[in-house]
Amino acid sequence: MNDSILKNLMLGQATEYASLYSAELLQAVPRSLNREELGIAEQQPFSGCDIWHAYEVSWLNSKGKPVVALARCTVNASSPNIIESKSFKLYLNSFNQTRFASHADVINTLEKDLSNTANSNIKVELFTPDNIQAFATEALPGDCIDDIDISIEDDGFILEPSLLKLDNTGKLVEETLHSHLLKSNCLITNQPDWASVIISYSGKKINRESLLRYLISFRQHNEFHEQCVERIFTDIQKFCQTDTLSVQALYTRRGGLDINPYRTNKENNKAPLRRINRQ
């Protein structure tokens, strides 16, 4: 990682909350920092996006009356930058005492500023708190692997991609697995990040115990949400040689935001809009 870029982030530093609109609060982190380590900086083996949900969005209408909303922001995985989460939170707070003429003005402002930060077009949707269906939760698809009875030694909490192994049957399958046991730590603050992860693939059958051990090995690993999902994708592809692969992580919220990265090499690369009760 490039320390000169990361040390200038507001993340982990004491900051004041601005209540008047300020686009300058947004900070970018180049995706290339982590992709260089993974060997995919020049060409990525996936497409996808990062879906953000913002639960604490508020501004004033033209008469000064507060308005509240929930937002969904979709950032393409091909964008040069990710948006640093604390800066996103501070930026949203800067709307709190700012007047906007309409919801459309808020959306246009969000899309312009976020797109400038990511250096790519970002789609923003706003929802009223009463729009329950837009944020409905659901059970995850496929088989949960969390009930596999395994013992974990101390070194089992150190990231180890070589834990990934194929099932010794050599059977070809197309299946979806999920786990609620993914935990990593923030790259800057070391605060825990919690997620449920869905892995859909076709190809030779993956040994489920090895997959669970691999996911658990992230428990002390420091990386941003988007970076963890790209690492999971590239590790599975390398060690299991899947034909098709999709990885989606649903992270619990922090600071009124949750992030849901999705990476796939399937032709239909549209990210499923999922939320679960942990969020």
Catalytic residue among 73, 186, 228, 240: 186
**Residues near 54 by Cβ (< 8 Å), separated by ≥ 6?**
70, 71, 72, 73, 88, 92, 256, 257
Catalytic residue among 50, 193, 235, 258: 193
Spatial contact of 79 and 119, defined as CB atoms under 8 Å apart = yes
Would you call 186 a catalytic residue per the annotation? yes
Spatial contact of 206 and 244, defined as CB atoms under 8 Å apart = no
Spatial contact of 27 and 217, defined as CB atoms under 8 Å apart = no
Compute the distance between CA of residue 265 and CA of residue 233 in angstroms, rounded to an integer: 10
Compute the distance between CA of residue 112 and CA of residue 229 in angstroms, rounded to an integer: 26
pLDDT tens digits, one per residue of 66-102: 999 999 999 999 999 999 999 999 999 999 999 999 9
Where does 143-264 sit in CATH, by number?
A: 3.30.1130.10
Spatial contact of 81 and 28, defined as CB atoms under 8 Å apart = yes
Q: For position 15, what pLDDT does the model report?
A: 67
Angle at 262 between CA 68 and CA 133, to 5 degrees: 40
Taken in order 69, 274, 47, 90, the sign of the CA dihedral is positive
Would you call 193 a catalytic residue per the annotation? yes
Place of tokens 């989606």: 248
Comma-separated ranges of CATH 3.30.1130.10 domains in the chain: 3-135, 143-264
Domain 3-135 has CATH 3.30.1130.10: yes
**Within the chain, what is the greatest distance between any pair of CA atoms?**
68
Compute the distance between CA of residue 87 and CA of residue 149 in angstroms, rounded to an integer: 41
Which residue numbers in the chain have pLDDT < 70? 1-15
End-to-end CA distance of the chain: 29
- What pTM did the predictor assign? 0.93
Q: How many angstroms separate the Cα of 108 from the Cα of each of 122, 189, 193, 196?
A: 10, 32, 30, 32
Compute the distance between CA of residue 40 and CA of residue 279 in angstroms, rounded to an integer: 30
Q: For position 145, what pLDDT does the model report?
A: 98
Residue by residue, DSSP assigns 50-83 as EEEEEEEEEEE-TTS-EEEEEEEEEEETTSSEEE
